[in-house]
Amino acid sequence: MQIDIMTLFPETVGDMMNESILGRAQERGYIRIEAHQIRDYTLNKQKQVDDYPYGGGRGAIMQADPLYRCWAHIRESCAVGRSRTIYLSPCGETFTQAKARQLLADYDHLILVCGHYEGVDERFLEECVDEEISLGDFVLTGGELPAMAVADAVCRMAPGVLPEAACYEEESHWNGLLEHPHYSRPEEWHGRRVPEVLLSGHHENVARWRKKQSMLRTLRRRPDMFREADFQGTKQDRKLLAEVYEELRRDPSTAGLPPQSTD
């Protein structure tokens, strides 16, 4: 996977993306992430990239032409394979793990466009952008954090970046559930003990406990996700599910239970 990020702050983006796991994966050639300074593509001495909005109103708008020149340069010199251009915007489709998986499966190259000020001239979006993605229902000052979030979520699943697929397949949001709780040494901290089953060395019981905690946590925190989860799988899953419902029946604080179906 290759990702090119169009931004007014390439150093900030580069610093983040070249660190730790993603930095090492780039050194080893599994992924490539590059940040491009949009100001380098202006035709004026001041390197101005914004101007006033037609129709009046507050703030400034990023002009279409510097964005277009930067985008065209990337398309001509960096694009590989199946390429997609995404504008990070609070008006876009909300980003999810499923979306990250789809982007990794369907494309070899992403161009991520970071807006600033009041946003971007619509004509650039119409001409060059394939889709808009939002990080959530809130407004940030710029598109860099959302772009880095998308790049990170997509690239960490690229082959070679993490030691094995289980590293991301067993995490929250992969199979429609939230992950179970984690514990590390010491066995007791501030009077709180690690659950006995995790000290037992019994791998089957540990796996069972973790799956059940994952179900419970999802049902308590994200009943919307739980309602969508598919438990048609193993007999053991259905048994665990019955136990989960039993526990929740004894805990009146949990609201929004979906209808029981355990057979």
Among 1, 25, 74, 88, binds ligand SAM (CB under 6 A): 88
Please check whether residue 71 is in contact with residue 113, taking contact to mean a CB–CB distance below 8 angstroms: yes
Q: Is 66 in the site for ligand SAM (CB under 6 A)?
A: no
122 or 187: CB nearest ligand SAM: 122
CB of residue 50 to ligand SAM, shortest distance in Å: 11
The least CB distance from residue 127 to ligand SAM, in Å, is: 17
Please list every residue from 160 through 199 that binds ligand SAM, using CB under 6 A.
Answer: none
d(CA 81, CA 84): 10
Q: Which is nearer to ligand SAM, 10 or 143 (CB)?
A: 143
Interface region with ligand SAM, contact rule CB under 6 A, candidates 129-137, 157-165, 181-189, 231-239: 129-137
Provide the token pair at 195. 């659950």
Angle made by CA atoms 43, 45, 47, in degrees to the nearest 5: 70
Is there binding between residue 146 and ligand SAM (CB under 6 A)? yes
Task: Determine the Cα angle at 108 with ends 166 and 4, to 5°.
Answer: 105
The answer to whether residues 89 and 132 touch, using CB atoms and an 8 Å cutoff, is yes
7, 119, 128, 156: which one contacts ligand SAM (CB under 6 A)? Answer: 119
Are 232 and 242 spatial neighbours (Cβ–Cβ below 8 Å)?
no
Which pair of structure tokens corresponds to residue 228?
């969508």
How many of the chain's residues bind ligand SAM (CB under 6 A)? 20
Q: Does 139 bind ligand SAM (CB under 6 A)?
A: yes
